[in-house]
Amino acid sequence: VAPSIRLSPATRSLFDEPLAIAVQGLGPRQQVTLRASMRDETGELFQASARYQAGDDGELDLARCPALPGGSFSGLEPMGLLWALQPQKPFWRLVKRDVQKPFLLQLEVCEGHGKPPGRLLAQAQHERAFLRDGVRRVPVREGRIRATLFLPPGNGPFPGIIDLYGTGGGLPEYRACLLANYGFAVLALAYYRYEDLPKDMKEFHLEYFEEAVNYMLQHTQVKGPGIGLLGISKGGDLCTSMASFLKGITATALINGSVANVAAVLRYKNIIIPPLGFSLKRIKVSKSGIADISDALNDPLEGPGQQSFIPLEKAECRFLFIVGQDDRNWKSEFFAVEGSKRLQAHGKEKPKIVCYPGAGHYIEPPFFPMCAASMHLLIGKPVEWGGEPKAHCEAQIDAWQQIQAFFHKHLTGKPSGTSGKL
């Protein structure tokens, strides 16, 4: 029998779902190298490989068989070939631009453990999709709003969430559409560097975000009385500001967010919140040219920095802080703890803080490979994001469950069938 790769699901799976990989038809205890590769939409190549030895029966199941040392990972890692994918171009991060087209994963089985590996024994292709069948993608251009709304299959109304990304700008849709697969109506909202929105990060007007909140609250497919907010990085402090000043917010989840306003002036009616100051002198640059910016920001508890602290005690919502304890972008754990202290000092409920040791800044949906360093638009050079690949991958899986459970609980009043594992 010629060797073959057996996948489950066979031809297509959602990007955030596990993929079972097995090889059959090998010789007893045969040594092989498994290779995975995937190209992003710009054509950049991501690769991972692992060394294995088949069982006595010539079967190799990644759920039962540990990878041997010498590849991209070792040990029992059923999804290692996906989370260990690394760009061949330095400082390149995997993002999904067109969620309507799947990523194509290529798998190969090669003879032996040599470098380069030996003869090709088997290969397979698999589609990693972002939209579940029946999820509707609705571009939104109403008033000033530049966004995309994802609606789950079936008859609504559905619990509503606004999803914000960070300093990269544009309109990333991949997290919003993956979340919509689980029964949420999710608005991926652009706020700069997109179409006719501001080109740079000088100042933001909360009225723009208020328009988006009202759009969701008035939408016939969105279940009231309030909506949820989900933000990562700069999107996190924008969500904190929205929750603090705007009506109709029930639950706010922040992924490595800040409780101080950063990088741009924030205006709302007659209120102005200045950005937290920083010092370029506190940026360390390594021999390889990568910047460590983790100490660059000033302390929001001292001096003029206090004016940048967002008054989150005004919020009428529940908070969830997702924290990567190896975040090298800024001190996410410090921000979460200070936000919690401030809420409790004002008689508000203690927020839920979930900390992940070994996780970096970009905590993405499950199975996105960890990005250790990439270009930072505001700094103009590559910066360290932190994280250790395996711990980061595990954090992404658990955080995804925590976020869904949090929104199910506070937006529908029903617990979802998920529980945090870490």
Q: Which residues are catalytic?
A: 233, 327, 361
- The contacts of residue 237 (CB under 8 Å, 6+ apart) are 231, 257, 258, 259, 260, 261, 262, 310
Edge-to-edge strand order for the sheet containing 265-268? 203-205, 265-268, 271-273
Phi, psi of 177 (to 5 degrees): -75, -35
Beta bridge partner(s), residue 136: 151
Half-sphere exposure at residue 122, Cβ-oriented, CA atoms within 13 angstroms: 19
Q: At what angle do helices 206-218 and 234-245 cross, to 10 degrees?
A: 70
Measured CA to CA, the distance from residue 348 to residue 366 in angstroms comes to: 32
Measured CA to CA, the distance from residue 98 to residue 109 in angstroms comes to: 29
Grouping H, G, I as helix, E, B as strand and the rest as coil, residue 248 is coil
Which amino acid is present at 125? Q
Torsion of CA 359, 326, 87, 33, to 10 degrees: -60
End-to-end CA distance of the chain: 42
Measured CA to CA, the distance from residue 137 to residue 316 in angstroms comes to: 30
Measured CA to CA, the distance from residue 155 to residue 350 in angstroms comes to: 35
The β-bridge relationship of strands 203-205 and 145-151 is: unpaired
Beta bridge partner(s), residue 287: none
Counting other chains too, the contacts that 120-127 makes at CB distance below 8 Å and 24 or more residues apart are: 121/2, 121/3, 121/26, 121/32, 122/2, 122/3, 122/4, 122/5, 122/23, 122/25, 123/5, 124/4, 124/5, 124/7, 126/7, 126/11, 126/12, 126/13, 126/19, 127/11, 127/12, 127/13, 127/102, 127/103
Structure tokens at 150: 């994802």
Measured CA to CA, the distance from residue 93 to residue 338 in angstroms comes to: 30
Measured CA to CA, the distance from residue 239 to residue 254 in angstroms comes to: 8
Structure tokens at 324: 């990567």
